[in-house]
Structure 1
Amino acid sequence: MLFLRKKFPQIKKSKIAENTGWMLLGYLSKIGLQAITFIFLAKELGVEEFGMFSSYLAVVGIIAPFVYLGAYNLVIEDISKKNPVSRAIGNNLVSSLFVLPLGVFLVIIISFYLKTPIIISIFISIGVFLGGVLISINKAVNISLGTLKYNTYLEVLLGVLQLFSIFLLTIFNGAVIEWSIYYMACYLLTGIIALATLIKKYGRISFNFSGVRNIFKVGIHFAFAGFATNGLSDIDKTMITKFSSVESTGIYSVAQRITSMAFLPMLAFLGAVYPKFVNFEEGGYLKSRRIAFKILPLILAYSLIIVIAIWISAPFIVGLMGKEFEEAVKAVRILSFLLVIQGLQYPFADALTGSGKQKVRTYGQVFILVLSIIINMFLIPEFGWVGAAWTSLICQLIFLIILYVVPIFLKKKNYFGF
């Protein structure tokens, strides 16, 4: 700890410390509320219906980036370029609303292919697409203007609403169909409040067609990047459902949820630091990359500590959900190593995005997604969730290598304006 204080004194004294504190508080609130919701939901639905819901959510998560069109990043970029806040909000919101029906239609098609009830996927997609983009835009504005406490309020609001929904689910003995309705309602209500807050603070939102057209041009790179990122974490769940069983999906989803919640505090820090990666001037990528190296020891230390903690506590955490999920202990321990790999990925991926080299990140993520699908097609039918877990580790490690090595090669060859 003393080493970190000596190495990063500017972090302690700067605005980053305050922003990280607010984001950490938000994420900790999210962790606590989600953990309670997650445990009770798993117990209430059981391994099969929980696996079914996770499969629906995975499909929606894969499509969502094409609805959001990089709204979070583009709002931050617009505001950093001194564009009016109301215009940044409006342009990104209008572009998302334009493609939202297409996103819902794609979810319906995939659900039909998976032979799962379509109505559930519609409820979840409407909540995540519409409520999610409103929440994302609100968070981006707060990140840009340093008002991160409002992001914390949103996290708490969404968490409390979901916890109340679990209470309703238990009282009325509901199933996955009822939970999908509650889930949609939670996101929509939070999104509406997020939008109302923005309008109250920054005035009526506005947009122009040239700005919307530009979002479609630039946002498609963020869409494919988000598609690849979400695909890497979610495609395996849909493939397990298709080629193995929903019970295996439930086991794998529990493990993934536990490890992802463990990484949330680090995401708070990375989210607060992200504006520092925004360097569009000449040589901007090298400046952003230096920031990545500077924060790497902190990320590595946290990741290693949390992996050890997960290995020790996995039996207790999984045990809270009942004997049906007992096999998830092994899954949690395997997937915990992703925390180290992804922790090392994020700073260098953000360095690419923040310096205007998003397409490099996107191409790497799409390549890894394709590789993941190919490997999973061979391993999941044979090994179920175990094959999916090892595929995730292999592919994320390859992507880490790509992020470290490929940009240096491209700089030497002067590709993509490096």
Structure 2
Amino acid sequence: MAIKTKFKKLDKNLIFYMVSNIGSKFLIGLTGILLARYLTKYDFGNYTTVTTFLGLVFIFLSPGFIEYGLFEFSKNNNKIEKLTGELIYLFLALCIIGFVVTIIIYPYLYPYITYSLVILIFLKLFLDWFMNLITTILQSKNLFNNVSLLQILRSLTLVLPLILLYHYGYGLNVFLINVIVLALIMVVLITLKEVIGKNINLKNVKKGFSFNRSVIPSSKYFFISALMSYIYMQSDILMLSVMTTPLEVGRYAVVTTIITGAYLIPASLYNYYLPKMTQNFCERDFKKLLKIKFQFRNMILILMTSISLLLFGFPKTVLKMIYGLKYIDSYIILMILSGVLFLHSICYLTGAILTASGSQKLRSNIQIFVAVLNILLNIFAIPKYGAEGAAITTFITEILLYGLYYYFSKKRI
């Protein structure tokens, strides 16, 4: 009865947002799973390696801009369009540099991977950034129905090309070309829809389209936080790609695909509640803040405990249902990372408290420490234990991250 009463008090917008957001992103995650089934282990390992490597590059091309934008937009809605223009200007300028550097450097790291695959994934991530920016603008204005529509359309940009891939037997490059074309069409149509609906003032965005040197130093702790979070979450794959074989990368990547898909639940809650928590901290309304905190916490505990226990208790069954027998040897990795899933889900709440309270510098410092420790442990664990070693180091450092986040977030409320 107590749980039922708590769910009755939930914001209906949150429920609709979570269902549509998680549903659409589930389709995106399913695309990755089906790609793993369709491609050979070697090809899927290469695809994962390039995606992970370029994901790191894009951290530098958009140094914390998205989360910084969400934080600043939530504080003052009047500056959204101006800041949006400034962020786009800096992103485009950095992309030119980033593209050139990527093309020069990557052959030395991964000589066995083709230029075409790198360029296509670069373009895909480029368009992903614009979709994330539009999503952030709509979230900061509490237009969650619009966000839900955007996420549904976004999932279709991957699902439709995947259907064509299976039906016609296209290669990976043709699949990516179809994804890019559909993503470009979607970005244009969504932007026009929001401009016509007067949710985005394009004239003000154009006025703000200029270089503002204060943006980068203002967003530096969001950049450090994003970089360290990415290194912490993805360094395992990058280090496996350098220290082992594409087959070992594939074994680990299929499990992280499942775990990343499960993170959609706490991530959706984080994106929904962070603007509200930021506003409450600015207004010093701690009564509302505590209400949001408990709602956030209860949702995570109820949903993520059950999912984590399912993955831990039945790893072979889950892997067999999703991938067939192809990756059944990854079951130990899944058992270990199910514990990481539970702990990190709670970190979404404690991390949101730190960010909303203006303690982003502290949060980024914690992430630096944990990310560096994870890399150091991987240097010793991966050569000896392979993908399982990477999973163990992640679990150890996740316990530390959880403890530090919890300790410092308790002091903020």
- Taking structure 2 as the reference length, the TM-score comes to 0.87
Cα distance in 1 between the residues matched to 2:319 and 2:353: 36
Question: Superposed, which structure 2 residues align to 1:139-158 within 5 Å?
Answer: 139-158=135-154
Aligned to 1:17: 12
Evaluate the alpha carbon distance shift between residue 157 and residue 316 of structure 1 in structure 2; reply closer, same or farther with a 3 A threshold: farther
CA distance in 2, matches of 1:54, 1:237: 8
Contact 2:311-2:318 within 8 A present in 1 as well:
no
Q: Does 1:321 align with 2:323?
A: yes
How is 1:238-317 mapped onto 2 (pairs within 5 angstroms)?
238-278=238-278, 279=280, 281=282, 291-292=292-293, 295-311=296-312, 314-317=315-318
CA pair 323-136 structure 1, distance change in 2 beyond 3 A: same
Superposition pairs of residues 9-408 of structure 1, within 5 angstroms: 11-12=9-10, 16-31=11-26, 33-76=27-70, 77-78=72-73, 80-108=75-103, 109-110=105-106, 112-115=108-111, 116-128=113-125, 130-200=126-196, 201=198, 202-204=200-202, 205-208=205-208, 212-278=212-278, 279=280, 281=282, 291-292=292-293, 295-311=296-312, 314-319=315-320, 320-406=322-408
In 1, Cα distance between the equivalents of 2:78 and 2:273?
21
Moved more, 309-318 or 363-372: 309-318
Alignment CA distance shift 1:198-1:81 (3 Å): same
After the TM superposition, which segments of 4 or more aligned residues of structure 1 sit over 6 Å from their partners? 282-287
Structure 1 residues 338 and 117: alpha-carbon distance in aligned structure 2, compared to 1, 3 A threshold: same
Could you tell me how far 1:294 is from its partner in structure 2? 5.7
**TM-score using structure 1 length:** 0.86
Cα contact 1:79–1:144 (8 A) shared by 2: yes
* Residues 408/84 of structure 1: CA separation in 2 closer, same or farther (3 Å cut): closer
| Structure 2 residue ranges without an equivalent (≥5) | none
Structure 2 Cα separation of the partners of residues 373 and 94 of structure 1: 33
Distance 1:150 1:40, change over 3 A: same
Q: Measure how far apart 1:172 and its partner are.
A: 4.4
Give RMSD over aligned pairs.
2.9
Alignment-mate amino acid for residue 82 of structure 1: N
Deviation for aligned residue 1:368: 1.4
Offset of residue 71 of structure 1? 3.1
After superposition, the Cα gap between the structure-2 partners of 1:99 and 1:391, relative to the gap in structure 1 and judged at 3 Å, is same
Q: 1:280 to 1:372 in 2, by over 3 A?
A: same
Where structure 1 has 5 or more consecutive residues not aligned to the other structure, the ranges are 412-417
Question: SS state of the match for residue 401, structure 1?
Answer: helix
- Residue identity (%): 21
Distance change >3 Å, CA 286–CA 243, structure 1 → 2: farther
Q: Which amino acid aligns with 2:155?
A: G
The 8 Å contact of residues 51 and 249 in structure 1, kept in 2 or not, is answered as yes
Please name the residue that 2:3 is paired with.
Answer: 4
Q: How many residues in Structure 1 have an aligned counterpart in Structure 2? A: 404
1:289 Cα deviation (Å)?
Answer: 7.6
Contact in 2 for aligned 1:131/1:189 (Cα 8 Å):
no
Amino acid at match of 2:330: A
Q: Is the 8 A contact 2:83 2:208 kept in 1?
A: no
C-alpha distance in structure 2 between counterparts of 1:265 and 1:295, whole Å:
11
